């Protein structure tokens, strides 16, 4: 049977030559400390793994074909994390230039549909996508932050925010060889002293080194591969349907 998908980290031109693809997927993450027990590249690895599975499912279930790029690791940082070794902050302009080049090249090749699958809370693509919609009216860019799709309470006992039970469980499911629970800190968050900021009357980026000793926000101790598998399965179902509906052009009534 002909492959309908392209994992662009592993496939060759021999696989893609002469084939028509309905859409492309750009997984996007960040490179930053994730408590002491998860890799710097956690957001990158998870966005990539979910994208690959969702593209496969869309091909199997609905016969639409997509390609998944190697993930982008340049994320927007909260100020505190960029003080930590090897943690790189990518500016808005850097991310926008990168995304613009991807869209310009795809457009030349005849593509008209790109999904950004984002796994990093500090990344925000909405205004970039608005600009691209203005520049390329017949090219659809959809941004999805997968960690916002499903309510974490339905899957995890102590949902947190960063290197928490959710991220740790997903890593145990997809990349158990990279999880070192014996090193994990408790991910205890120190809230803002300012009540207005604590109550989210106003927003400002948090200095991460002031809100957590181990960089984690959320206790990872109750994580399990089974929880990760169940959550990942539901996420992949949501993502594959999104890819299918948009790639087929079923957007408006
Ligand atoms: Zn993360």
User: For the chain, how long is the longest CA-to-CA vector?
Assistant: 60
Cα(137) to centroid(ligand 1), Å? 33
Class for the domain spanning 6-247: alpha beta
Tens digits of per-residue pLDDT, 181-233? 999 999 999 999 999 999 999 999 999 999 999 999 999 999 999 999 999 99
Name the nearest CA neighbour of 50 among 222, 173, 164.
Answer: 173
Paired residues of 145 in beta bridges: 118
Residue with tokens 């539901």: 234
What is the Cα–Cα distance from 183 to 167, expressed in whole angstroms? 15
Cα(93) to centroid(ligand 1), Å? 22
130 half-sphere exposure, CB direction, 13 A CA radius:
3
Question: Which has more confidence, 191 or 3?
Answer: 191
Give the burial class of 190: count Cβ atoms within 10 A of its Cβ; 0-12 exposed, 13-18 middle, 19 or more buried: exposed
Cα(195) to centroid(ligand 1), Å? 26
Cα(43) to centroid(ligand 1), Å? 5
Tens digits of per-residue pLDDT, 50-75? 999 999 999 999 999 999 999 999 99
Cα(109) to centroid(ligand 1), Å? 33
176 has a pLDDT exceeding 80: yes
Tens digits of per-residue pLDDT, 139-175? 999 999 999 999 999 999 999 999 999 999 999 999 9
Cα(207) to centroid(ligand 1), Å? 16
Paired residues of 27 in beta bridges: 117
Cα(252) to centroid(ligand 1), Å? 33
Cα(36) to centroid(ligand 1), Å? 13
217 in helix, strand or coil?
strand
Provide the CA 21 distance to its chain's centre, in angstroms: 22
Cα(161) to centroid(ligand 1), Å? 8
**Mean pLDDT, the chain, whole residue set:** 96
Residue 185: φ, ψ to 5°: -85, 175
- pLDDT at res. 217: 96
Cα(47) to centroid(ligand 1), Å? 10
For 192-210, b/e burial (b = at least 16 CB within 10 A) is: eeeeeeeeeeeeeebebbe
């Amino acid at each position: 049977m002909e492959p309908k998908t392209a994992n662009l980290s592993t496939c060759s031109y021999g696989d893609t030559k002469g084939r028509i693809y309905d859409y492309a997927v750009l997984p996007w993450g960040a490179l930053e400390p994730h408590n002491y027990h998860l890799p710097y590249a956690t957001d990158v690895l998870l966005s990539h793994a979910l994208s690959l599975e969702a593209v496969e499912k869309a091909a199997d279930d609905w016969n639409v074909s997509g390609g998944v790029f190697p993930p982008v690791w340049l994320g927007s940082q909260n100020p505190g994390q960029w003080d930590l070794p090897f943690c790189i902050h990518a500016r808005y302009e850097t991310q926008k230039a990168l995304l613009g080049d991807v869209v310009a090249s795809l457009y030349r090749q005849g593509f008209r549909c790109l999904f950004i699958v984002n796994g990093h809370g500090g990344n925000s693509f909405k205004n970039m996508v608005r600009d691209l919609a203005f520049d390329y009216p017949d090219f659809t860019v959809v941004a999805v932050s997968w960690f916002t799709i499903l309510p974490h309470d339905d899957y995890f006992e102590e949902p947190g925010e960063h290197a928490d039970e959710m991220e740790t469980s997903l890593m145990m499911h997809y990349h158990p060889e990279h999880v070192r629970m014996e090193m994990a800190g408790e991910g205890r968050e120190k809230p803002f002293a300012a009540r207005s900021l604590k109550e989210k009357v106003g927003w400002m980026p948090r200095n991460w080194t002031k809100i957590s000793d181990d960089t984690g926000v959320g206790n990872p101790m109750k994580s399990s591969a089974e929880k990760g598998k169940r959550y990942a399965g539901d996420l992949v179902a949501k993502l594959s349907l999104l890819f299918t509906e948009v790639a087929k052009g079923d957007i408006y009534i």
